[in-house]
Amino acid sequence: MKLCLLVSATITSVTTYPGMGKVMDDLYYYNQSRADRAPVIFLGSTKLLGDISTCPTALTPVESIPVHDTPGSLGSIVCAADACRVYKYAMLNMASASKDPSTGDCSSLARGAIRLGFHDAGASDLNAGYGGSGVDGSIL
């Protein structure tokens, strides 16, 4: 009963906006013209992209990988000798920002990053080229 009242109140306020009556009529006729068509279950491609297609199926959990101990602190001569060592510190910084210290679960920053990735991937188009689609690195 509450849903019926909510829909009635919403439709009334929507149709009072100038021009919305025509939009509602157009939507009604559009839906009627498509009523005899079968519903589309999945739109898009199931093609695996990049290295996902060659990724091994038996993966090890991240916790079982030996931890690399980076010699020297960030900015030290030892660390500066290898340009890749700075990424260890970037990884540690990202890991601490992604975990809520009080619960040990994902932080809101981590959930936001995952959400952003899914929203970016939802717009992907294999034929769009760089910058014209999702999951092409352009979000960085």
3-class DSSP state of 48 = coil
Tokens linked to 137: 């690195």
Query: Concatenated DSSP letters for 80-96?
Result: HHSGGGHHHHHHHHHHH
Distances (CA, A) of 97 to 94, 106, 122: 5, 9, 25
114 vs 40, more confident: 114
Residue 83 lies in a domain: no
pLDDT tens digits, 89-99: 888 888 889 99
Q: State residue 60's pLDDT score.
A: 65
| Residue pair 60/71 in contact by the 8 Å Cβ criterion | no
Q: Mean per-residue pLDDT for 38-63?
A: 64
Residue 60 lies in a domain: no
- What average pLDDT is seen over the chain? 74
Q: In sequence order, which residues have a C-beta less than 8 Å from that of residue 47 and are 6 or more positions away? A: 126
87 vs 134, more confident: 87
Residue 41 lies in a domain: no
Residue 24 lies in a domain: yes
Task: Quote the number of domains for the chain.
Answer: 1
Q: State residue 26's pLDDT score.
A: 83
Query: Concatenated DSSP letters for 60-84?
Result: PPGGGSPPP---S-TTSHHHHHSGG
Q: State residue 10's pLDDT score.
A: 66
Most confident of the following: 4-18, 56-70, 95-109, 120-134: 95-109
Could you tell me the residue range of the domain that residue 11 belongs to? 2-33
Q: State residue 140's pLDDT score.
A: 67
Residue 26 lies in a domain: yes
Q: Mean per-residue pLDDT for 66-84?
A: 76
Residue 70 lies in a domain: no
Residue 14 lies in a domain: yes
60 vs 79, more confident: 79
29 vs 112, more confident: 112
Is the model's pTM score more than 0.85? Answer: no
Residue 21 lies in a domain: yes
